[in-house]
Structure 1
Amino acid sequence: MGLHRVVEPAGVLPQAAWRLDAAREIAPNEVRIRVERLNLDAASFRQLSDKHGGDGEKVRAEVLDIISTRGKMQNPVTGSGGMLIGTVEEAGRRSPLGLRPGDRVATLVSLTLTPLTVTDGLARWDGRGEQVPCDGWAILFARSIAAVLPADEDPQLSLAVLDVCGAPALTARVVSRYVEDRRRAGDGRPVTVAVVGGAGKSGSLSLAAARRAGATRTVGVVPVVAERDALVAAGLADEVALADARDPVALSSAVTTALGVPADVTVVCVDVPGCEHGAILATADGGTVIFFSMATSFAAAALGAEGLAADVTMLVGNGYVPGHAELALELLRSEPGVRGLFAARLAAD
């Protein structure tokens, strides 16, 4: 689990640690990765960019300072990090991960618990996009997860997809249970799904996964006309609605108007805080809200549901569901709308 890499405070797991030991030498059950590119999570990058007014040089300097100070990439404000791709340099003889030197991999665990050292000063990054070309090394533990990158895909595209692969897998699991439960009960009501932030990375994959899992009707909610037009063109949702997810009444109204009823499952994939209450209002009694955003406030969600007397189940997407990488890559390959949205995002970055 990497406990031996925790510098301070003693006794916590690496994700909760303030500082990790990112020394290059590995233990027999560790793996060292030569880092090629980081992918900062959306909430973290937005916070850093907003803090520095979009000044890329200042964003780059702060990311460097975080990594050098903490021995990992963990934004002290959002608490989140991201993931990386690179090549296996050395695998300890007792590592259970099945990785070999030369394997090109994406880590499927957060940078917030991954010992990391950067050696090039992030000189090739302008601080204006989530993907960060860099040189350095990272350490994986016995309980870490990594996926060998597919040879037939652009590594940057694979990185962007694998960064959020937990979202479609969890969405598919929840939606399929609703579909099966209603089938067994002889309940002919449709299974409705709303994805807030439907044009984004995790949002577009979640819409595709919901449809694949049997959702009867889906709506993607986006904040601006350009994203609405892109999501309509992608064809991933039955309806596309415009709303500011931070406005609870507007979000709820947009979802219920588009679907005709509140959503059975609402998936929150936006990278800004303040979306908890709208998602709760948009969800039917007995429904489920999946918060797949590092900007989510547990207190706001829990107390907001209580204050609204909302009988909803709330799930925190933890980023890991068995088979999540394979599912996300399969959706990329089989859904032209997903590939188009990801390609456009990479081109814009």
Structure 2
Amino acid sequence: MRDIHSDPIGLHRVLDDAQRLPQAADRLDTRRELWPDEVRIRVERLNLDAASYRQLERKHGGAGQVDGPAIRAEVLEIVSTRGKMQNPETGSGGMLVGTVEEVGPDSPLGLEVGDRVATLVSLTLTPLVIEDGLARWDGLGEQVPCDGYAVLFGRSIAAVLPDDLPAELSLAVMDVCGAPALTARVVEQYADPVVAVIGGAGKSGSLSLAAARAAGAKHTIGVVPHEAEAALLREAGIADEVVIADARNPIGLRDAVTAAGGPADVTVVCVDVPGCEGGAILATADRGTVIFFSMATSFSAAALGAEGLAADVTMLVGTGYTPGHAAYSLELLRDSDGVRRLFERRLG
């Protein structure tokens, strides 16, 4: 074993000259050998986060045609260069599914060899090696069949996959499980609140709507950008009102939410496009809360916008982690046929 001591947050895997956290590092050490508190996973599937994949899609989507091989080549380049999957433009990564192949003797994660797991920490801080060249992925979707290995630190998080759900479905839920868990926690702090979810037909948005209803929301409003999404959300039956609005248009969003029963006591932003800060603030009542779950959020725009609007709102950054978030989100999926249909349609 190497003489450098391991650190539960993975500092010993950082290869930069300056000391940085693994997520901020330019390069990570991806060697197979484990420190005593680490776990190695045989990877079978990556789930790129939505913001990262959309950026790659735009970059390699000239003339209306998405260049899947170019996206695949860029993902391979990122991973081989950095030792992790971290989109240099968005700073985001995703998560993975795989099987535990070795557990260090001091690992605190409670995993055993053979466990099929999903990691609940970002690929942006997870040492990762791809060994099959992503030969089974066409580059045209967020879920990436993959053969390789990844390393979890002592303070990483992983969940054993349930037996009653397909792995692809579990992975899609766990990728966004922080959003519904925090939404429920915030909604529970209000008496009979109105809750608006921007991007309500998406993965995190649909789960957040279900969570809001389960946590006691009096009225839920799902905001979507166009009629096709609205039809999907109405069919799912998880929002009391469905409205079509451009989240980048502050006045239009405010008016749409207000007409649908707002302003909202809790507004949850689950869209991966920039420029939604002002509208979310305007759609929220005084003493209300805005939760930002978008990697495209500009937090300076949100803070300065709230100040400039004299908006008395609390603004939270969705970190992606709330204790028990994976189990809670999977249970929401099991309990809501509408949410499950939305997920299965998107996995299509």
State TM-score, norm by structure 2: 0.96
Pairwise mapping of residues 108-147 of structure 1 onto structure 2 (< 5 A)? 108-147=120-159
Are 1:196 and 2:198 an aligned pair? Answer: yes
The 8 Å contact of residues 9 and 18 in structure 1, kept in 2 or not, is answered as no
The alpha-carbon deviation at position 62 of structure 1 amounts to 0.7
CA distance in 1, matches of 2:252, 2:45: 38
Bigger shift: 249-258 or 105-114? Answer: 249-258
- The answer for the alignment partner of 1:16 in structure 2 is 24
Q: Distance in 2 between matches of 1:243 and 1:200?
A: 15
- Change in CA separation of 1:330 and 1:9 when aligned onto 2, cut-off 3 Å: farther
Cα RMSD, aligned residues only = 0.7
- Counterpart Cα distance in 2 of 1:161 and 1:55: 27
* Counterparts of 1:219 and 1:9, CA distance in 2: 49
Question: Matches of 1:61 and 1:283 in 2, distance apart?
Answer: 42
Residue matched to 1:52: 60
Following TM superposition, the consecutive aligned residue runs of length 4 or more in structure 1 with deviations greater than 2 angstroms are none
Which residue among 221, 224, 240 is the counterpart of 2:223?
A: 221
The SS at the match of 1:8 is coil
Q: Distance in 2 between matches of 1:310 and 1:49?
A: 36
1:55 Cα deviation from its structure 2 partner: 1.1
> Match of 2:139, as an amino acid?
G
1:282 paired residue number:
283
Question: What is the total number of aligned residue pairs between the two structures?
Answer: 336
Deviations 1:274-316 (A, max 9, x none): 1111101111111100000111111111111111111111000
Report SS of the residue matched to 2:254: helix
- Counterpart of 2:325? 324
Shift of 1:150: 0.4
Counterparts of 2:40 and 2:342 in 1: how far apart (Å)? 33
Q: Deviations over 1:169-191 (max 9, x none)?
A: 00000000113xxxxxxxxxx41
1:4 aligns with 2:12: yes
Q: CA deviation at 1:2?
A: 0.3
Conserved? CA contact 1:9–1:17, under 8 Å: no
Matching residue within 24, 27, 35 for 2:35: 27
Q: What per-residue deviation string (whole Å, max 9, x for no partner) do you get for residues 4-60 of structure 1?
A: 000114311101111111111111100000000000000010011001112111111
5+ residue gaps, structure 2, are 1-8
Counterpart of 1:83 (choices 95, 116, 119) is 95
User: In the alignment, which of 45, 48, 52 is matched to residue 40 of structure 1?
Assistant: 48
2:86 paired with 1:74: yes
Q: Distance in 2 between matches of 1:9 and 1:155?
A: 39
Which string of whole-angstrom CA distances, capped at 9 and with x for unpartnered residues, describes residues 187-208 of structure 1? Answer: xxx4100000000000000000
Secondary structure of the corresponding residue to residue 316 of structure 2: strand
Aligned equivalents of 1:153 and 1:191: distance in 2? 32
Residue in 2 that maps onto 1:246: 248
Identity of aligned residues (%): 75
- Once residues 121 and 9 of structure 1 are traced to their aligned partners in structure 2, the CA distance between those partners, rounded to angstroms, is 29
Q: Deviations over 1:82-109 (max 9, x none)?
A: 0000000000000000101100000000
Partners of 1:304 and 1:67 in 2: CA distance? 36
What is the alpha-carbon distance in structure 2 between the residues aligned to residue 145 and residue 133 of structure 1? 21
In 2, distance between residues paired with 1:314 and 1:50?
Answer: 29
Residue 3 (structure 2) aligns with: none
Change (3 A) 1:136 1:291: same
Instruction: Indicate yes or no: 2:158 matched with 1:154.
Output: no
SS of residue paired to 2:239: coil
2:257, 2:137 → 1: CA distance?
A: 39
| Structure 1 unaligned spans of 5+ | 180-189
Deviates more, 1:33-42 or 1:16-25: 16-25
Q: AA paired with 2:37?
A: N
Counterpart of 2:235 (choices 233, 240, 250) is 233
SS in 1 for 2:238: coil
Residue 184 (structure 1) aligns with:
none
Partner amino acid, structure 2, of 1:39: N
